[in-house]
């Protein structure tokens, strides 16, 4: 009897483990991610809490050509967020300038023709101060570029655009949270799940793309920010969480947009 137990007990445990494993997988497999939220959603939340002076988050124009396509994709994403910032500031001229840069970088990536019409719409809506339509147009422009990338089997670049957009959004958002001093504004920065999703997407790329210097840098900064987001807002020796997130994202944005690397 003892011998039978010795044989059967591990088998029963194996079967039981597989049952619970399958139950967990069944529960998990039904969960999908819809889409990564747009920076406009993040800014809408911040706007309600912190009422930031959005124009103070403008930056100097960045180059619209880069030696590496992944780097160009990251910077295209940051430009899209610049567009949202200009819309929040209700600054039509700044929206138009950013729109032109977006088209130029999309052209450099070989998908300019897909968004040329969008550039015209952006300009028209900016002239009419139609901020609501501009947000939707920026959303649509990003998605069209991403879809064109996917059609060219460049899904990695599509993810880099999204990552670039979010890194720039976090740079501006963390500054807004810092300036407001509002706890609720700081809470909106806790987006480690979103960054983990983007990082995991980049980790699924083929080895050659995954290990390109630009992709490695994005993965590293996403990973660092994930860790920083998991800390409590006041934790740290000399900086708040918002300040640390702001510095990490700003350092990346500046170095990614600097041509000579």
Partner 1 sequence: MKLFLLLLLCAASLASARGTEPTTVTPVPGLRPRLYDIAGALGNEGFKVRDGAWRGVLQGRKPQRLAVNLFSGNQYWFCVATSATGETPSLSLRDPSGETVELVPFEKDGVAAAGVTAAATGRYVLEIDGSGSGSRDFCLLYLFK
Which residues here bind partner 1, judged by CB under 8 A? 7-8, 11-12, 14-15, 18-19, 21-22, 25, 29-38, 40-42, 44-45, 48-49, 132, 135-136, 139-140, 142-143, 184, 187-191, 193-194
Tokens of 241: 């969480």
- CA 88 from chain center: how many Å? 18
**Identity of the residue, 1 or 7, whose beta carbon is nearer to partner 1 in the bound complex:** 7
Closest C-alpha among 145, 139, 147 to residue 112: 145
Find the shortest distance in angstroms from Cβ 85 to partner 1. Answer: 16
Nearer to partner 1, 59 or 144 (CB): 144
Is residue 92 within 8 Å of 129, Cβ to Cβ? yes
Query: Cβ of residue 63: shortest distance to partner 1, in angstroms?
Result: 27
**Residue closer to partner 1, measured from CB, 187 or 203:** 187
Helix, coil or strand: residue 81: helix
Angle at 24 between CA 19 and CA 29, to 5 degrees: 120
Total residues belonging to the chain: 261
Cβ proximity to partner 1, 188 vs 240, nearer residue: 188
Rounded least distance, CB 215 to partner 1, Å? 23
Give the separation between CA 30 and CA 180, rounded to whole angstroms: 39
User: How far apart, in Å, are the Cα atoms of 185 and each of 140, 149, 188, 233?
Assistant: 27, 34, 5, 11
Q: 58 or 131: whose CB is closer to partner 1?
A: 131
Which of 40, 214 has the CB closer to partner 1?
40
Instruction: Give min distance, CB of 41 to partner 1, in A.
Output: 5
CB of 145 to partner 1, least distance (A): 12
Alpha carbons 122 and 128: distance in angstroms, whole number = 10
Nearest-angstrom CA–CA distance, 242 and 194: 17
- Of the candidates 256, 188, 257, 173, the residue with the CA atom closest to the CA atom of residue 220: 256
Least distance to partner 1 from the beta carbon of 12, Å?
A: 7
């Amino acid at each position: 009897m003892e011998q039978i137990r010795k044989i059967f007990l591990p088998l029963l445990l194996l079967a039981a483990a597989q049952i619970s494993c399958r139950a967990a997988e069944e529960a998990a497999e039904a969960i999908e991610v819809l889409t990564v939220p747009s920076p406009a959603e993040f800014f809408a939340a911040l706007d309600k809490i912190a009422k930031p002076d959005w124009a103070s988050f403008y930056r100097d124009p960045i180059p619209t050509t880069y030696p590496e396509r992944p780097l160009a994709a990251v910077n295209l994403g940051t430009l899209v967020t610049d567009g949202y910032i200009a819309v929040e500031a209700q600054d039509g001229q700044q929206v138009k300038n950013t729109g032109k840069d977006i088209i130029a970088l999309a052209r450099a990536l070989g998908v300019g023709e897909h968004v040329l019409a969008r550039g015209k719409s952006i300009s028209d809506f900016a002239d009419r101060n139609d901020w609501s339509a501009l947000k939707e147009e920026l959303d649509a422009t990003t998605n069209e570029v991403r879809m064109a990338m996917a059609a060219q089997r460049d899904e990695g670049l599509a993810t880099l655009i999204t990552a670039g957009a979010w890194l720039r959004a976090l740079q501006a958002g963390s500054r807004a949270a810092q300036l407001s001093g509002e706890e609720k504004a700081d809470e909106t920065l806790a987006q480690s799940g979103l960054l983990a999703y983007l990082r995991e997407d980049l980790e699924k790329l083929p080895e050659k793309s995954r290990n390109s210097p630009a992709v490695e840098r994005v993965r590293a900064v996403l990973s660092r920010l994930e860790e920083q987001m998991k800390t409590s807002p006041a934790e740290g020796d000399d900086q708040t969480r918002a300040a640390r997130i702001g510095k990490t994202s700003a350092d990346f944005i500046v170095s990614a947009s600097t041509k000579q690397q």
